[in-house]
Amino acid sequence: MYHQPVLKNRRTLLERAEKFISDVYFTDCNLRGRLYGATFPVRSLSVFSTPNRIPFSEAEQQIFQPAKVGDGYGLTWWTCWFKVCLSIPDEWHGKEVHFLWESDGEGMVWCDGQPVQGLTKEGSKTSYVLSRSLKENETHNITLYVELACNGLFGAGKGSMIAPPDPDRKFFVQKAELAVFNSTVNDLLVDFEMLIDTVKLLGENDQRGYQALYVANEMVNVCDVKNPNTFSAARKLAKKFFSEKNGDSQHTVHAMGHCHIDTAWLWPYEETVRKCARSWVTAIRLMEENPSFIFTCSQAQQFAWVKNWYPGLYSRIQHFVRRQQFVPVGGTWVEMDGNLPSGESMVRQFLEGQRFFHQEFGKYCTEFWLPDTFGYSAQLPQIMQNCGITRFLTQKLSWNLVNTFPHNTFFWEGIDGSKVLTHFPPGNSYEMKCKVEDLLNTVRNNKDKGRANHSALLFGFGDGGGGPTQGMLDRLERVMDTDGLPRVQISSPDKLFTALEANTSLLCSWTGELFLELHNGTYTTQAQIKLGNRQCETLLHDIEVASTLALIRDKNFLYPLDRLHHLWRLLLLNQFHDVIPGSCIKLVVEDAIKYYNEIRNTGSALLKEALQALLPHNLEKSCHVVFNSMPWERTEVISVPGGSAEPLLALVKVPSIGIASVEESVEPGCSVTVSTQADDSVILDNGILRLIVNRNGCVISLCLIDSNREAILNGCSGNQFVIFDDIPLYWDAWDVMDYHLQTRKPVTEIIEPVRIESSGGLRGSVTFSLRIGEASKLFQEIILDAQCPYVKFRTKVDWKEAHKFLKVEFPVQVHSANATYEIQFGHLQRPTHWNTSWDWARFEVWGHKWADVSEHGFGVALLNDCKYGYSVHRNTLTLSLLRAPKSPDATADIGWHEFTYAVMPHQGSFQEAGVIQCAYNMNFPLHCVPTRKSPSQAVSWSAFSVDCPAVILETIKQAEDQKDAVVLRLYESHGSTVSTMLRTTLTVKAAYYCDLLERPDTSHPVASAPASEFSLTFRPFQITSLLLVLQ
Ligand SMILES: [Zn+2]
């Protein structure tokens, strides 16, 4: 049958077939050279360039200048609109006609005023099909527009991808012409490619590979490239090979089209709007041609952008969503960072996302989709479960620098015991190309062989590359069920997980966080973004609490629902996985800061309105009212705003979720004393803590007075600033490497030695300043307030470093193998030793408002108001303060910074000592509001209280869909099973448990008659939401 090979030589046969389809060698006589037939120049090409991103309707009106192929256009971030006039030659009747466009940058074709397809060389999209078979009566004269964004798929880095953008780059047009496309040649090329790859990848030990080799060789024999009539015989040979089927047990690869689009990264948010449109319209076009093609698409924000800017495209997307080809997935507003957003922020990612998907497409997502984030909080499984999601897909842990994660398909168990079925596509990429290699890797890399027989393969160019290509679909079509290769099906997340759920009996579990052993610098980089996130989370919390109470106290008050939605969405947007981590270019940082400032400005006004509305209306004289948004009574020193230059301090006692007047302030049981020693060190003492600060600002003693327990390790100093060389291997803004620890240098150069700032009474404090490196300075005030169990370190830094890392250390007299870190709605422990590779790979970790190291009966906590990077090694608690990477933002973190941290030695466990509450108090300061009138009666009022200290009532907001209802969110914070009473002074008509999407469970009311007390029970770290219907 086949020609007998002259030589029994695998190599010559294989290379012969490769050369037959090479796009480099022998294109004059091989098959590849026949892919395109005749070509024809464009009739005219003209251009209009603008620094702005403008709509088509505006672009069309402009004056276009003559343009030509070979020229360079634009500057980085500009947009060049090309008007392309085409006349197809008459003799091309019956042929498939393409418009070929090759240029730098990212193109979008517009036809008849609508976007029709992306054209991006980097995403292998360089042709736009004008006609599959040109008819005589079809129009031969066509005008297209190509909107060319002057940036690459990955921005415009100067010299390397992640370098800061080159502002002066030119973007060249290399090709603009008409061409006849030979689709039968294309079909054969795909056949050959798949066969050749099968030969190469199955290798010399696999007989099936040899079968592919001889098929390919015979196909070259029968193909006469000049005679298309010979092609069908070759195709028949290929078809026979591809249709030889697998056995029943073969692994099934679920191929899903995808285009991972970073919501901002090496380009600004505004460009992402266009990246989405370019990519999604390209996917839609593929769906029209391939009715079985399925495209998965995440991030509600991106859908919202396209809805707003491209309504025509959006309605086509809705059509294909109904046909289940365009599959919204993920359920979140953006693919957020998995570490840094607060618990409530995580909830809002899902609440805003799921509500959007439900409203627009009629259903909630059932899978959480976060392929590319730098670690995953151990509280996510519960949050997912509570948002109607039981399945999770990611693959980022394949980037681990040290340890290989042991599973691809497993149950992931969170800190409360909630489990979600989790899948990491074994191909370790979310941008696969459907080559034989991708299919085989998906099976071979699967670490759950024998336990799970289905895997995902996500294919398509990301970041605006337009996602999948026809070529990728063609490859898959060949090998859907071919002996020797995995079985493939075009699939959806739902189909994959349904298949996995059908047999989970052998699956393993992984308990706790999914820690990424890389990118640990992102807990610290771009400190202003971290500060903005923490402050805005706090502000939105307080606005919601105050507005909800105002609603109850003042019948005329309108809850600012729409404005809060807008502000929340800005905050959620900035939590995108390249923005809050600080791994973005300067343009993005500027946008992010602009959004934080909008939240701060609008938010402050909203908070003020709400606070005014909730104050009592029967006041007679002027006074100051203090608002406490925390669910426990607080007694704290506050600054009372007034006319005098000296801040007026007062010690106030404010009930839980309530108000009190400053005039009701309390006397301290014990004043703060401050005294200078002979060696210039200063002793501060508030009856709870006594600390000694030496002349260069170090805390050389910190004593917990009641137990007479020294917290600072013998012979060491706390509040020791240290600086490190911080030069990673590549990912500058992202990575801090283990070896930076070997470059530790204490900061010791004094500018101003310690001196007393506040001399005692309600507050004692000292100030000092230090020089860091050659040009940076640090100013600090160490503050001890009356009745306060922690010492605050209010810090300002003028930071002018390059590739340095600033931290502060507290070596403590505590011996423990584990430290505890706050995470979303709870905490977890990590070792303080470096025994195994899993331990030392966590040399730099993340935490939220506090970290603690305790032995039985005593411990020390380190609190902060805007930092996320920690390390606790042996006895030393370290807080990461500032970095100075140069890529992708050369100016990252240069400038002024203000932040506060605090140290809190305590008796008993951190739970018993109230560390959690103290960290909240430091982050959610009491609000002191001057009012014109003064009380004729007591102002003090509390809306809610909870009697068990383990249970934290964090969120109080108006229900999304019910104006007369309030949603409360509580969680168990100690890691214990407890019961508590929730008390309220509001009149509650009915109370229900609800999920995080605020869907009430009406079958089990917490209380149905008017009630003011609710008995609740909690499992460790359980999050509970209540919907209270008010009278
Ligand atoms: Zn990404």
pLDDT, tens digit, 9 for 90 and up, residues 781-838: 999 999 999 999 999 999 999 999 999 999 999 999 999 999 999 999 999 999 999 9
Listed in order, strand segments (DSSP E) in 856-926 are 858-864, 869-873, 876-883, 895-907
pLDDT value of residue 588:
98
Ligand 1 centre distance from Cα of residue 153 (Å): 12
Residue type, 1011: A
Q: How far apart are CA 620 and CA 660, in angstroms?
A: 15
Listed in order, strand segments (DSSP E) in 787-943 are 791-799, 804-811, 818-823, 826-831, 845-846, 850-855, 858-864, 869-873, 876-883, 895-907, 927-931, 941-942
Tokens representing 640 are 């009372």
**DSSP H or E segment with residue 495:** helix 493-501
Q: How far apart are CA 285 and CA 542, in angstroms?
A: 47
Q: How far apart are CA 425 and CA 445, in angstroms?
A: 9
Q: Considering the entire predicted model, what is its pTM?
A: 0.97
Ligand 1 centre distance from Cα of residue 370 (Å): 9
Ligand 1 centre distance from Cα of residue 474 (Å): 27
Q: How far apart are CA 530 and CA 524, in angstroms?
A: 8
pLDDT value of residue 643:
63
Contact 550, 956 (CB under 8 A): no
Ligand 1 centre distance from Cα of residue 526 (Å): 18
Ligand 1 centre distance from Cα of residue 105 (Å): 20
Ligand 1 centre distance from Cα of residue 807 (Å): 28
Ligand 1 centre distance from Cα of residue 264 (Å): 9
Distances, alpha carbon 959 to alpha carbons 540, 560, 967, 998, 1000, in Å: 15, 12, 5, 7, 11
pLDDT value of residue 619:
53
Ligand 1 centre distance from Cα of residue 338 (Å): 12
CB atoms within 10 A of CB 829: 15
Q: How far apart are CA 990 and CA 1029, in angstroms?
A: 5
What are the respective helix, strand and coil percentages of the chain, to the nearest 5? 25, 35, 40
Among the listed residues 947, 941, 985, 950, the one whose alpha carbon sits nearest the alpha carbon of residue 966:
985
Ligand 1 centre distance from Cα of residue 372 (Å): 5
Where would I find the H helices in 362-492?
A: 380-386, 436-444, 470-478
Per-residue b/e over 210-248, b at no fewer than 16 CB within 10 Å? ebbbbbbbbbbbbbebeeeeebeebbebbeebbeeebee
Tokens representing 815 are 């011996």
pLDDT value of residue 5:
65
Ligand 1 centre distance from Cα of residue 259 (Å): 10
Q: How far apart are CA 261 and CA 906, in angstroms?
A: 47
> Considering 28, 168, 372, 416, which one is annotated as catalytic?
372
Ligand 1 centre distance from Cα of residue 743 (Å): 32
Ligand 1 centre distance from Cα of residue 945 (Å): 42
pLDDT value of residue 158:
95
Ligand 1 centre distance from Cα of residue 578 (Å): 7
Ligand 1 centre distance from Cα of residue 577 (Å): 6
Tokens representing 460 are 């398509």
Tokens representing 608 are 């003020």
Among the listed residues 693, 637, 646, 638, the one whose alpha carbon sits nearest the alpha carbon of residue 669:
637
Listed in order, strand segments (DSSP E) in 344-408 are 367-369, 391-393
Ligand 1 centre distance from Cα of residue 263 (Å): 8
Distance of alpha carbon 104 from the chain centroid: 29
Strand partners, 971: 952, 1023
Q: How far apart are CA 713 and CA 780, in angstroms?
A: 22
Contact 642, 648 (CB under 8 A): yes
Q: How far apart are CA 1008 and CA 144, in angstroms?
A: 65
Ligand 1 centre distance from Cα of residue 265 (Å): 8
Contact 197, 213 (CB under 8 A): no
Ligand 1 centre distance from Cα of residue 269 (Å): 13
The contacts of residue 170 (CB under 8 Å, 6+ apart) are 72, 73, 74, 75
372 a catalytic residue = yes
Q: How far apart are CA 438 and CA 18, in angstroms?
A: 19
Ligand 1 centre distance from Cα of residue 399 (Å): 13
Ligand 1 centre distance from Cα of residue 412 (Å): 22
pLDDT value of residue 1005:
87
Q: DSSP letter at 887?
A: S
Taking 50 as the pLDDT cut, the residues of the chain under it are 936
Q: DSSP letter at 120?
A: B
CB atoms within 10 A of CB 100: 18
Tokens representing 894 are 């240069």
**Helix, strand or coil for residue 472?**
helix
Contact 283, 468 (CB under 8 A): yes
Write down the residue that tokens 């502002």 correspond to.
167
The contacts of residue 960 (CB under 8 Å, 6+ apart) are 351, 355, 967, 998
Ligand 1 centre distance from Cα of residue 625 (Å): 46
Ligand 1 centre distance from Cα of residue 476 (Å): 25
Strand partners, 648: 640
Q: How far apart are CA 250 and CA 488, in angstroms?
A: 10
Tokens representing 861 are 């906590």
Ligand 1 centre distance from Cα of residue 544 (Å): 31
**Helix, strand or coil for residue 897?**
strand
- Digit-coded pLDDT (tens) for 431-448: 999 999 999 999 999 999
Listed in order, strand segments (DSSP E) in 424-565 are 454-459, 487-490, 509-511
Ligand 1 centre distance from Cα of residue 580 (Å): 12
pLDDT value of residue 506:
97
Distance of alpha carbon 327 from the chain centroid: 20
